[in-house]
Structure 1
């Protein structure tokens, strides 16, 4: 059973420049395929609406010609009325289908990216930061989810101008030629819009993610901020990118507005040219008044760049968000192993393990053996890689070089389910997941029995605290105010309850009071436990109770020996400052 620690550094998110990377394009296609029937239905409904809109001018023109000639036009007026009603129904259906497709795509994307984040484990927060990940999972997933509907809407919006040009050609080929003369200019406008909108939207979403990361950091450290009286300073820090966000937003609207303004300048001239030519043909008797009416409407449809501008902008926003999700999916997750874990005492071995973080080598060719069934405390100054070693032992992260073995099998080769059943973790700041307190202690790959949960709570000295809660074990986690020590006790109970052959405690005793620590360590180090215990220790008292101590220094193991032997070395005593053993 594993739980990810709360801490996460600031994200480092590169800005988006290209419209879609290959991975983002594949993700967009996958979202379209996932939408399946809904996207196909939306596309059909949108195209049907466009077709009805193209038929309407012809029907109205025919009705006008009949009325001017004094012939019965009731049937054509009825057809025009039916088309208007059909357009209303199709538009409503498109709205419902669009909302459904957006919701389904966003939900699928969130599940996909959430699974990737959980597969990455702590490295996801290391790479992006908790706040930026939340922004991608919430805002960007919702925006990227609109991509299938945006593609369908763009197809329908493109069909309108194409159909308008074809209809003009049917009335008279010269009308279509007049309009096509201005088509290259309109195409250039749309291309510039797509390029400029993509850059603006990418910058906007990137700044949003940075602000979310800063806000998450501030919320996580709210007590420190309040104690230091720096609320105003932190507020200013979180909001510092706001002008940059505003500039990106203004650029985005400026680009869209500029494209619309240019289109408004070009399109009316083309429409006027079409109407003028149609009027000239009318005077020569080559087209009818109804044809002139239809031609004027088709000219509007054929130059409908304003609609295309909106559709392209929506698609650019969706694709920029898709790219940010694809960046998370591009991070290589540890490949699950395929080998079963054979029975064993829990012997842990690290061979030549090297780990680099931020350009710095934290662990350098480290070798360490923890015999099965023994307790090893790992000590060292801050920054020597103690927590990183704990994460490696349970494969919360992988080394850059070397390997970690559990009972002779590399943990990278062990099946995920076997490894999670074999290894239990407890952290300094445990994340208590689940609805109730009992859910939180039972949380893991396999739920322990109620008796086992109660027994583990007694070992962790959490039972008396839980029994004082309003509803005992059935108390909601949100309704159970806890101190840091009480949270640690629940985290320890969870680790104890799930058994396994290897128990890893990453500074999980640091918030316990002296009496509680004494009782917990007596249960932890007492005879008959059977499991291997790896403890990240910051107290001399904890190290003194372990069978052996591994002393880390400079990314390597300086010594492995019982605490009382190492205590003779003044450098070792300096690791604990002024503390003396008890």
Structure 2
């Protein structure tokens, strides 16, 4: 930026010298002297000025792209370091707009400060040389500049307001469009294409309205500045011709002064353009700076070694844990005490809103406990980094648990160095190897392809978690979208894993956990009861109602009302 400023000042110097050299040419011509020297100097100024301007444009253009890239990298990294809850409270489309559209406005604004300094120096230098030539004409010029400046000062803040409103509208448009496209099957099945498209078109119209308002304000500013200069030129030409006629001003000085007047349009236009770009950039920067409110997880570039692992005792323990998603939100968990054995299958059941997902979020450190503590291998979570905790866990979420890319990319997402044999083994464990082989591109099939069903996507996510499974496997209803035969195979796979490590399952279908080693019943953020299926069916009313609602036969005698 400093080099760009120096180049701009050098370009200004070459430009400021040109009218004076032109006066020299005219004076020399009137004296009948050789014109070679002044013409050579004039040509040199033009060539040098063009070279400096070209260098500055390339330099500032490159700088602008680097600033945009830096802003985008900063935002993207913040997103992926952010706390899950903070991200999920914002529409995805709006978050994307901050990276794509808002940062793009920084391109023009990035060089605006240099442009403002250069334009300011050029304006002052031009006025000084005008004063050298004729003070009366300078007074006329200043009067025009002052009028234009006052009008611009009144109008420029409106550009920032209009630009901010336009960017907000674009963010809302992106958020609504992204959500609707994600649910396109539901939209079409509900015959809501016209209603939904018109709603989003309304967002587009709002964005266009605000953008048109910004364009009108910008056009007004430009028109006033150019009209002011043109009126000034006419007035100066008239006054200058009158003074030249009276012998108070040389013709060569009038020509040089008029050249400075025309040249004055450059700094004024540059000031207007850069102030406009700066206003738009400030509006975008304000929206980008709002992202600083998103809390990020602690991140150590070189995390301390994890506490020593142990082989006895529970792998996870929760002691009096309470949690909420924000300071003004109700508690999602209250006084939870839970022990996860080092081996075995623990199932978490309960009605919606009981706190099952919050429990998983605590274990994965998506949410931090408000009170109480969580221990891993007997050590408090606080003594582990986030990465160290998650390295001990594998997680399969319920809704579309795949990432962009191919099937192979997903399977190797946690362990990029996994061998082909390891990948084939986990595919066989979820009965997906034959299905993958039938696809035209096999394991290189993109998951955006319609050849991959929802159930297959869920099994791919399960296979990814089973690849080199860490100590604890967390499954949020892993069999929600699979057929009965595959569900049985998945259950066999879970039993195999439970024999060597801990498996914790959130179950909305109780048929997937009837053979769990232990079932934990949750209600209203608390643990209501724990035990086997037979024990809970006999002793807990809520568990019995859940079972009966799904019409699952119990091993223990049921009441006559069943």
> Which residue number corresponds to residue 133 of structure 2?
171
Give the distance between the partners of 1:136 and 1:118, measured in 2 at CA.
Answer: 14
> Which residue number corresponds to residue 16 of structure 1?
none
For the pair 1:578 / 2:550, whether they are aligned, the reply is: yes
> Which residue number corresponds to residue 197 of structure 1?
159
> Which residue number corresponds to residue 560 of structure 2?
none
CA 1:563/1:175 → structure 2, altered by over 3 Å: closer, same or farther? farther
> Retained in 2: the 8 A contact 1:420–1:445?
no
> Which residue number corresponds to residue 526 of structure 1?
496
Give the distance between the partners of 1:47 and 1:171, measured in 2 at CA.
Answer: 22
> Which residue number corresponds to residue 344 of structure 1?
310
Give the distance between the partners of 1:498 and 1:75, measured in 2 at CA.
Answer: 82
> Retained in 2: the 8 A contact 1:354–1:364?
yes
- Report the secondary structure of 2:529's partner residue: strand
> Retained in 2: the 8 A contact 1:365–1:402?
no
> Retained in 2: the 8 A contact 1:49–1:91?
yes
Match for residue 203 of structure 2 among 234, 241, 260: 241
Residue 529 of structure 1: how far off its partner (Å): 3.7
CA 1:480/1:246 → structure 2, altered by over 3 Å: closer, same or farther? closer
- Report the secondary structure of 1:43's partner residue: helix
Give the distance between the partners of 2:108 and 2:228, measured in 1 at CA.
Answer: 30
- Residues 320-364 of structure 1, C-alpha deviations (whole Å, 9 max, x = no match): 222222222331112237552431353242532221359542514
For the pair 1:332 / 2:295, whether they are aligned, the reply is: yes
> Which residue number corresponds to residue 485 of structure 1?
455
CA 1:177/1:249 → structure 2, altered by over 3 Å: closer, same or farther? same
Match for residue 330 of structure 2 among 353, 361, 367: 361
Give the distance between the partners of 1:174 and 1:352, measured in 2 at CA.
Answer: 82
Residue 219 of structure 1: how far off its partner (Å): 0.7
> Retained in 1: the 8 A contact 2:355–2:526?
no
> Retained in 1: the 8 A contact 2:333–2:358?
no
For the pair 1:306 / 2:276, whether they are aligned, the reply is: no
CA 1:579/1:82 → structure 2, altered by over 3 Å: closer, same or farther? farther
Give the distance between the partners of 2:372 and 2:264, measured in 1 at CA.
Answer: 65
- Report the secondary structure of 1:418's partner residue: helix
Give the distance between the partners of 2:156 and 2:474, measured in 1 at CA.
Answer: 52
> Retained in 2: the 8 A contact 1:334–1:398?
no
Greater Cα shift, 488-497 or 533-542: 533-542
5+ residue gaps, structure 1: 1-38
- Residues 76-119 of structure 1, C-alpha deviations (whole Å, 9 max, x = no match): 22332333344444444344334322322222221111110011
Greater Cα shift, 177-186 or 541-550: 177-186
CA 1:175/1:581 → structure 2, altered by over 3 Å: closer, same or farther? farther
Map 1:200-239; keep pairs closer than 5 Å: 200-239=162-201
Residue 432 of structure 1: how far off its partner (Å): 3.2
Residue 148 of structure 1: how far off its partner (Å): 2.0
- Residues 497-521 of structure 1, C-alpha deviations (whole Å, 9 max, x = no match): 1421121112222111111111111
For the pair 1:388 / 2:358, whether they are aligned, the reply is: yes
- Residues 391-410 of structure 1, C-alpha deviations (whole Å, 9 max, x = no match): 22111233444443322334
Give the distance between the partners of 1:460 and 1:197, measured in 2 at CA.
Answer: 58
CA 1:197/1:98 → structure 2, altered by over 3 Å: closer, same or farther? same
Give the distance between the partners of 2:228 and 2:368, measured in 1 at CA.
Answer: 59
CA RMSD of aligned residues (A): 2.8
CA 1:563/1:150 → structure 2, altered by over 3 Å: closer, same or farther? farther
- Report the secondary structure of 1:356's partner residue: coil
Residue 540 of structure 1: how far off its partner (Å): 0.9
> Which residue number corresponds to residue 315 of structure 1?
278
CA 1:231/1:400 → structure 2, altered by over 3 Å: closer, same or farther? farther
Greater Cα shift, 526-535 or 156-165: 526-535
> Which residue number corresponds to residue 5 of structure 1?
none
Give the distance between the partners of 1:313 and 1:536, measured in 2 at CA.
Answer: 55
Match for residue 483 of structure 2 among 508, 513, 520: 513
Give the distance between the partners of 1:160 and 1:226, measured in 2 at CA.
Answer: 60
- Report the secondary structure of 2:332's partner residue: strand
Map 1:529-568; keep pairs closer than 5 Å: 529-568=499-538
Residue 273 of structure 1: how far off its partner (Å): 5.2
CA 1:158/1:431 → structure 2, altered by over 3 Å: closer, same or farther? farther
Map 1:21-420; keep pairs closer than 5 Å: 39-173=1-135, 175-181=137-143, 183-272=145-234, 274-275=236-237, 278-279=240-241, 282=244, 287-302=249-264, 304-336=267-299, 340-344=306-310, 346-349=315-318, 351-356=320-325, 359-369=328-338, 370-420=340-390
CA 1:193/1:215 → structure 2, altered by over 3 Å: closer, same or farther? same
Give the distance between the partners of 1:496 and 1:330, measured in 2 at CA.
Answer: 36
- Report the secondary structure of 1:558's partner residue: strand
Greater Cα shift, 178-187 or 555-564: 178-187
Residue 374 of structure 1: how far off its partner (Å): 3.2
Name which structure has the greater RCO, CA cutoff 8 Å, separation 6+.
1
- Residues 214-253 of structure 1, C-alpha deviations (whole Å, 9 max, x = no match): 0000010001111111111110121222332232112212
- Residues 357-391 of structure 1, C-alpha deviations (whole Å, 9 max, x = no match): 59542514241322322322222222333223212
Task: Give me the TM-score of the superposition, normalised by structure 2.
Answer: 0.88
